[in-house]
Structure 1
Amino acid sequence: MARKGIPSEQVKHADREQAKRIVYSVVYGAGKERLAHCLGTTTLQASQFIESFMQKYKKVYEFTKKTIEECRNKGYVVSIMGRKRPLANINAQDYKLRTQAERQAVNFVVQGSAADLCKMAMVEIFTAVVVSPTLTARLIAQIHDELLFEVEDSQIQEFSALVKRTMESLQQTTTLEVPLKVPLKVILTTGKSWGCMTELQEM
């Protein structure tokens, strides 16, 4: 992690969660006060976190500004699969309404695109299970960028390999409005219930 100088292999779950809050604050313009509250730190520390992030990942700030500017010009934003979301308040005089629309614009492009990719993965995985002579897994829920499946113990290794392969291969999908340069990293977890999951080690 850039902010703490921790090698990627030593990053813990708590570090990852904290980093996600910083990313969300920068991308969605939450501000140092909101971030300080979320992290339980001072506004000065939160401000330093944001500044450090902005210095290291300049393209994130450029992306948010470009997304908002395009929305101001067109009146809508587009997800990675071409879905449009109109935002009538993007040019509103009212500051609160305008900044809310700006956050919604960025959020839709990011989260809406993640949802597009998840839906594509769900369709491909469902098709693979239907034609498989051995797999009987079924989808229980989609939670943001997470898919929850019910799988027989004897099928976990085969099915998890299918899920990982399918989801990560979406980076090469040619139907996307924007080609993906960043690898889609998939983390697999397994457990007897959703609240008792542990990371699944690849065979």
Structure 2
Amino acid sequence: MSRLDKDVSEVTTSERERTKRVVYSVVYGAGREKLGEVLDISPLDAKDIITSFMKRFPGIPAYMRSVVNLCKSQGFLTTIFNRRRFFPGIKSQDSVIQAQAERQAINFVIQGSAADISKAAMVQTEVALASRPDLDAKLLIHIHDEMVWEVCSKDLDTVIDIVEPIMENTQQLCGPFVHLTVPLPVAICTGTNWAHMHPWTKE
């Protein structure tokens, strides 16, 4: 069940996007003022959401503390693919600098690990498509966790059949680095241009 007391299958796109904003804001240290701006609600309502979120998911603040403590003890953190980043400000005597380093540390582990997976997906899909020179498809841009390909309409279904399973295969994506226990479903949209994209469903 979701926080809205709905089955996951019943959660709407707008509700999912709103929840993502709450999660990002809370995990990355946004206060009630910032969350209020993001959700277009009062700071008091935003504070209630943050409090409710922390109570319902106590493992998240505990995880955030563990990341900060680890960073303070060793001075650096690694992503799930073992990329390392040092945080010299984590032990600063300046509380502002230290707080900023703590937010960066939490952000690095989460966003950096997501970037690892996204980069692996980009590389592996490109390798697979390169083995099919008969297909008219090229990667245009990579934005956060999204990739945009330009594909000839006649090759669209074939390209999707190649790309989708690669991006959803967590064992192949992560290789020897980590074993993910959660699925990574891919949402595919198609359109004649970026302004007119719509969800793709297999016929």
Q: TM-score, normalised by structure 2?
A: 0.91
Within 5 Å, which residues of 2 pair with 1:50-199? Answer: 50-132=50-132, 134-171=134-171, 173-176=174-177, 178-199=178-199
Residues 148-168 of structure 1 show CA distances to partners (whole Å, capped at 9, x for unaligned) of 111111122121222221111
CA deviations 1:173-193 (Å, max 9, x no partner) are: 3322x4211111211111111
Displacement after TM superposition at 1:171 (Å)? 4.3
Determine helix, strand or coil for the equivalent of 2:181. coil
Unaligned runs of 5+ in 1: none
2:39 is equivalent to residue 39 of structure 1: yes
Identity of paired residues, percent?
39
Equivalent pairs, count: 202
Q: Alignment RMSD, CA only?
A: 1.7
1:52-89 CA distance string (max 9 Å, x none): 22233222222211111111111111111111111110
Q: What is the TM-score with the length of structure 1 in the denominator?
A: 0.91
Matched with 2:21 is 21
Q: Distance in 2 between matches of 1:70 and 1:39?
A: 32
The amino acid across from 1:50 in the alignment is I
Q: Hey, what's the Cα distance between the residues in 1 that align with 2:92 and 2:79?
A: 23
Q: Distance in 2 between matches of 1:153 and 1:13?
A: 27
Shift of 1:39: 0.8
